Structure 1
C-alpha cells in the first residue's frame, strides 16, 4: 500500500518545503508561481514531483496533482502542515483496520484548536461530513478515479467563491457511494504561519458564498443546510443573529441558477 502526498502550495522556488513538511513518502507538489515547468527528482529515496504552473485557484492546483497521482492512498496537503513521524504507517494501518473505507479523516494538531477533534472512530455520512476538510483526509486513488471525482474549479481560494471546494469534493465522494470513516489518529501539525488567502471575515460575501456552496452540494436540501449552519454558528462564531446569517445565505443560494 503506497502512500503519496499531494501538496497545494504557492511561490516555492526551491525544494525546501519537503524537509519543512517532514515528507516521508512519495509526493507531488502543485506549486502555483510565476513560471511554468515540471521537475521530477528523488527525495530521500522517494519519488518527488514539482508542478510549477503560472495559474491560480486551489481547486485547479489540487486537480493538477490528483490527475498525476500514482499512489494507492493519497493525502491532500497544504504547505503549512508538518507530518508526524511514520505517518505512512499510521495511514496504512487505518486502512487495514477499516478495509471497506475509501476515505479516512484524521486529526490535525493545532496550538489553539479550531478544527473538530476526532475522539473516537466513526462512520461519516452525508449528514455529518461538513466538519472535515481535505487537508485531513486520505483517499483510495482508484475509487476516486473510477467515479470521476475531482475538485470544483469555481470554489476555493483564487476563484469566484472563496471557499468550499473541499466540502464539495467530499460530498461528491459520498454521493457516488464511497465509504468514509474518521479515526482519532493525528497525522500532522499545523504551523499556523500562513494567513488564509480567502477568509476576510464573516461578511456579506462569506454568507453569500456559503449559500451558493450549499445549493451546489444539494439542490434539495440546501435551505436546510443553510439553516443548520446559521443556527449552530451564528452566535459564537459569526457574531451575528442566526436570522441575518440565514437570510444572506438564502440570497446567495437563490443567485445560483
Structure 2
C-alpha cells in the first residue's frame, strides 16, 4: 500500500457515497486534493461486502476509502470528518463533478478571507433542484442560511472541530426523517458562533440523477418538514411553517390542500418536541 508523505495538508474533500465503485470516484469527480471517501454499502450482503478501509495515491493525492454498512448520510459525513486531518475540509457528494482548478480556487478564497470559518461556494445544481446561486461575497446570517447543500460547504477544520458541531443523525438520506440535515448543520454552526460567508466562486456542477429522498408532496414530506422546523426554529416553527406552506401552496399543497398540509406539518412539529438527539 502506497502512503503519501503529506507535507502540504491544506485541502481535503470528504465524500459521502452510497453503493459506488469508490476507487473510480476520484477520477469521475475530478478530485484535485487529498480525500476521505465513505462508501455506504446499503442493502449489500455483509459477508460478501466486508467493511474495510484502504489508502492509495491518485494523481499525487492521498485517497482514503472507508466502506461501511452503517446507514445515514449524517453518519457518513461525521465519519469522514473524524478521519480528516487537513487545514481546510470540503464536503462532497458522489454526484458532483468539479471544475479543473477548483482546489486552488478554494484555498485562494480562504486565504483572501481569513475571517471566514466557513465558505459556501457555488456548485451548479441540476435543473429543477436549484436552491441557491451566490452573486456576491457576503456574510451568511439567520435570514439566509437555509438554502445551501452540503457540497457547497468548505470549512477550517480546527474551527469546526473546536465548535463541536456535527451532522444530525435524524435527517437526510438513510435517516428517520427527510432532508434538512445541511440546513440544520449550518444552523448549528451559526449558533456555535462560527463565521459563515457565501462566495460567488464556482467550483463544479451536479450530475443529473434521481433524488434519493423526494417521493412527492406526501404526508411524510410535510410531517418530516414539521420535525425539521422544530429543530430549526423552536417556538417560531408554527408561524414559519405556515408561511412556508402558504408561499408554496400552488405547488406543494395542490393535491392535499393548504390546511391539511398544515395540520400534518403541525403534527411533525409536536413530534419533534419529543425527540432527544
Match runs of 1:71-86 below 5 Å: 71-86=86-101
- TM-score, structure 2 as length reference: 0.87
Shift of 1:208: 0.6
Residues of 2 paired with 1:135 and 1:154: CA distance?
19
Shift of 1:248: 2.2
Partner of 2:75: 60
Among 150, 166, 169, the alignment partner of 2:182 is 166
CA RMSD of aligned residues (A): 1.7
Shift of 1:220: 2.7
Residues of 2 paired with 1:120 and 1:13: CA distance?
37
Which 4+ stretches in 1 moved above 6 angstroms?
none
Residues of 1 paired with 2:89 and 2:253: CA distance?
33
Gaps in structure 1 of 5+ consecutive residues? none
Partner of 2:227: 212
Structure number, greater radius of gyration: 2
Give the aligned length. 256
Residues of 2 paired with 1:99 and 1:10: CA distance?
34
User: Residue 238 and residue 28 in structure 1: after superposition, are their counterparts in 2 closer, same or farther (change >3 A)?
Assistant: farther
Residues of 2 paired with 1:238 and 1:76: CA distance?
33
Partner of 1:180: 196
Residues of 2 paired with 1:136 and 1:237: CA distance?
26
1:45-93 CA-partner distances (Å, limit 9, x unpaired): 1111001011211111111101111121111111000011111111112
| Aligned 8 A contact 2:40 2:70 in 1 | yes
Partner of 2:261: 245
Match runs of 1:36-185 below 5 Å: 36-110=51-125, 112=127, 114-185=130-201
Residues of 2 paired with 1:72 and 1:95: CA distance?
11
1:103-161 CA-partner distances (Å, limit 9, x unpaired): 11111124525232111222111121111121111111111100111111111111110
- TM-score, structure 1 as length reference: 0.93
